[in-house]
Amino acid sequence: MTIVEDFIPADRRNRPGNPIRGPEYITVHDTGNPRPGANAAAHGAYLRGAAADVPASWHFTVDDTEIRQHIPLDEIAWHAGDGANGPGNTSSLAIEICENSDGDRARAEKNAIWLIAYLLKRFGLGIDRVVPHKRWNGKNCPHLLLPRWDEFIADVRVRLIEFLTPIMGEAVASLPQAREWLRQRAPDWVLMADLYWSIAPKYDVRPDVALAQAAKETGFFRFGGLVKPEQNNFCGLAATGVASDGNTPLRGADSSRVRFEAGVHGAIFADRATGVEAHVQHLYAYATTKPLPENTTLYSPRFALVRRGSAQYVELLGAAENPAGAGWAYPGVDYGKSIVRDYLQPMIDTRPAGIDWQARALAAEGKIERIRAIIEA
């Protein structure tokens, strides 16, 4: 879907310009306007005209053919009916779904579901942060959706999968980006990027995802928790909060490369490469039910304990946010989202010196054009 900018002019009363808090919620409304022609464009004209004196406003109007945005996402709108300082107005993005009689309401709802999933992903919000207008002031709105609200939210949950971050596949960040990202935050550990990029592709695990998780688990390799640097344990494997008694089972992991010691929290790996491979194997266990690739040796002593294939996406690594109730972290609230938001996305956004990013973008566009020409030939 394309979002069309149809902004209320900045000097209007219904665009106060105050910064939004968060945003922390997404509020869903029905327009309450069944008249023919009352589509997204018509509501945009209303917001730019008569609504300025009400004042009333919202961030998006969705109909069966388009999505129109009326207010920037970092500004509040007057939509919740809970006052100038109410949490509905000050902390939520507002979506109005059209119900014009000459439109396709089912299609409009599908477009709204897409938009909600997109916004949840963009702002790292949980599905519980999608609320009806009724939440804020008791109004029977969205009146068409309230009788089947749970079904609507279930559809959002399914759609959200399209916007989640896969653990397996090709990296989005490049190796130079990963190196520069570490150079700015953990300069003594820059070569960890090379290790992840050399090992993770053997398992079809994204090296940028694995490195982002390692940075979260170790505090950018400062190791301020239970696990110490000399353990070469970059993801807290077997660090359960109880120190080993020295007899912790290896469960098939190579005893020449992996061990436990009495009084030490978590597994100890022979070197950094082994620790990285154990980490990648553990992510692989969550992301797929496939056996380990040929000619690989098991290094993760917890591999056999994983509910295989239970978290194909980074955001589902926290058990609290995984529909299967399984996960890397327990309870894991915001765990996977934090990996993406606080570590992976900044890595992807890093721009190393010496690379012509505009030329790279143009080259990518050229590839797209060549592919299109081949398809259309």
- Looking at residue 349, its pLDDT comes to 94
* % of the chain with per-residue pLDDT over 70: 94
- The mean per-residue pLDDT over the stretch 112-123 comes to 94
φ/ψ (deg, to 5) at 67: -120, 125
Contacts of 7 (CB under 8 A, 6+ apart): 15, 69, 70, 71, 72
Q: ∠232-284-189 over CA atoms, to 5°?
A: 30
Q: Is the pLDDT of residue 367 over 60?
A: no
Q: What would the mean pLDDT of 94-118 be, rounded to a whole number?
A: 97
Q: What is the model's pTM?
A: 0.70
| Both structure tokens of 73 | 């996402």
Tokens encoding 274: 């082994």
CA distance 44 to 5: 10
Q: Encoding tokens for residue 343?
A: 């570590």
CA distance 93 to 113: 14
Residues 13-23, mean pLDDT to the nearest whole number: 96
Q: What is the pLDDT of residue 377?
A: 37
Average pLDDT over residues 50-75: 96
pLDDT of 280 higher than 50: yes
The candidate with the shortest Cα–Cα distance to 96, out of 70, 120, 74, is: 70
Which CATH code is given to the segment(s) 3-163?
A: 3.40.80.10
* Contact by Cβ (8 Å): 112, 66: no
Phi, then psi, of 89 in degrees rounded to 5: -70, -40
**Residues 352-373, mean pLDDT to the nearest whole number:** 52
For 312, phi and psi rounded to 5 degrees? -80, -15
Distance CA(22)–CA(340), nearest Å, equals: 17
Dump pLDDT digits (tens) for 229-266: 999 999 999 999 999 999 999 999 999 999 999 999 99
